[in-house]
Structure 1
Amino acid sequence: MIEVREHGEISRPAAAVWAVVADYGQDPRWRKGVETMAPRPGGIVRVGTTTAEVMRFAGRTYRNGGEVTGVEPGRSFDWRTTSGIDAEGGRSVVSLGKDRCRFAFHVRVAPRAASERLLEPVLGWLLRRAIRADIRRLADLLHHDARASRL
C-alpha cells in the first residue's frame, strides 16, 4: 500500500482555493500528468459526483473512474476509484486567515501487479514528489488568476 499525505500553505482565501480544488474540471490546470478529467455533473463536487480521468504517471497511462464519497462543503471531500487503479483519498482546505489557507491532498494506492508491488518504495517517492509539485503548481495558478482578475 502506498499512502501519501501532503499539504501546503497558499496565500489566497480558502474560498478561492476551494473553488479550484473542488472542481475536478480544473484538475488538468494544476495536476501534472492529468490529460483529461471529466466530472459528472460538472462544477463543485457533491456526493455522487463521478469522474473519468486519463493520466500519465511514471511512464504509463492510466484510465480511472472515480466517485466522490463524502463532502464537507467549502472544506473537504473524499473520493475513491471505481475502475482503473485501486485508490482512495481526499482534499481539504483550511482557512488560516483572510488571505491564507492550507490545502491538503492525500491518497492511498494499492498496487495490483506484482511488478508494481515490488516498486512500491519508488512509486511512493515519485507520487509524493508529484503531489508536492502539484500543490506548488496550484498556488502559482491561483496567484496568476488573482493577478489577471485585477488587470
Structure 2
Amino acid sequence: MIELQEDGEIACPAARVWAVVADYGQDPRWREGVETMAPSPEGIVQVGTTTAEVMRFAGRTYHNGGEVIRVEPGRSFAWRTSSGIDAEGGRLVEPLGENRCRFTFHVRVTPRVTSERLLEPALRWLLRRSIRADVRRLAGLCAS
C-alpha cells in the first residue's frame, strides 16, 4: 500500500482555494497527468458526487471512477474509487489568516497486480513528486 500526505501553504484566502479543489472539473488545471475529469453533478462536491477520470501516470493511462463519501463544506472532503485503481483519499483547506491557508492532499493507493506491487517504492517516489508539484501548481493557479 502507498499512503501519502502532502501539504503546502497557499497565499490566498481559504474560500478561493476551496472553490478550486472542491470542484473536480478544475482538476486538469492543477493535477499533473489528469487528462479529463467529469464530475456528476458538476460544481462543488457533495456527498454522492461521482467522477470519471482519465489519468496518465508512470507511462500508463488509467480510467478511474470515483465517489465523494464525506464533505465538510468549505473545509474538506473524502473520496474513494469505484473502478480502476484501488484508492481513497481526501482534500483539506485550513485558513491561516485572511489571505493564507494550508492545503493538504491525502491519498492511499493499493496496488493490485504483482508488477505494481514490485514497483511500489518507485511508484511511491513518483507519486510523492507528482503530488508536491500539484500543490505548487494549485498555489499558482489560486494566486493568479
Instruction: Give the distance between the partners of 2:111 and 2:78, measured in 1 at CA.
Output: 20
Cα deviation for residue 86 of structure 1 reads 0.2
Residue 98 (structure 1) aligned with residue 104 (structure 2): no
SS in 2 for 1:96: strand
| Stretches of 4+ aligned residues off by more than 4 angstroms | none
Aligned equivalent of 1:48: 48
Gaps of at least 5 residues in structure 2 are: none
Cα deviation for residue 142 of structure 1 reads 1.1
Instruction: Give the distance between the partners of 1:109 and 1:143, measured in 2 at CA.
Output: 30
Taking the TM superposition and a 5 Å limit, the aligned residue runs for 1:52-71 are 52-71=52-71
For these two proteins, the number of residue pairs brought into alignment is 144
Aligned equivalent of 2:76: 76
Identity within the alignment, %: 78
Aligned equivalent of 1:149: none
Q: What is the TM-score with the length of structure 2 in the denominator?
A: 0.99
Aligned equivalent of 1:15: 15
Gaps of at least 5 residues in structure 1 are: 145-151
Residue 88 (structure 1) aligned with residue 53 (structure 2): no
For residues 79-107 of structure 1, give each alpha carbon's deviation from its aligned partner in whole angstroms, at most 9, with x where no partner exists. Answer: 00000000000000000000000000000
Aligned equivalent of 1:138: 138
SS in 2 for 1:55: strand
Aligned equivalent of 1:113: 113
Aligned equivalent of 1:37: 37
Instruction: Give the distance between the partners of 2:96 and 2:141, measured in 1 at CA.
Output: 19
Instruction: Give the distance between the partners of 1:128 and 1:69, measured in 2 at CA.
Output: 24
SS in 1 for 2:97: coil
**More strand, by proportion:** 2
SS in 1 for 2:139: helix
Aligned equivalent of 1:147: none
Aligned equivalent of 1:24: 24
Cα deviation for residue 143 of structure 1 reads 1.2
Aligned equivalent of 1:148: none
For residues 101-139 of structure 1, give each alpha carbon's deviation from its aligned partner in whole angstroms, at most 9, with x where no partner exists. Answer: 000000000000100000111100100000000000000
Q: What is the TM-score with the length of structure 1 in the denominator?
A: 0.95
Cα deviation for residue 41 of structure 1 reads 0.1
Instruction: Give the distance between the partners of 2:135 and 2:107, measured in 1 at CA.
Output: 14
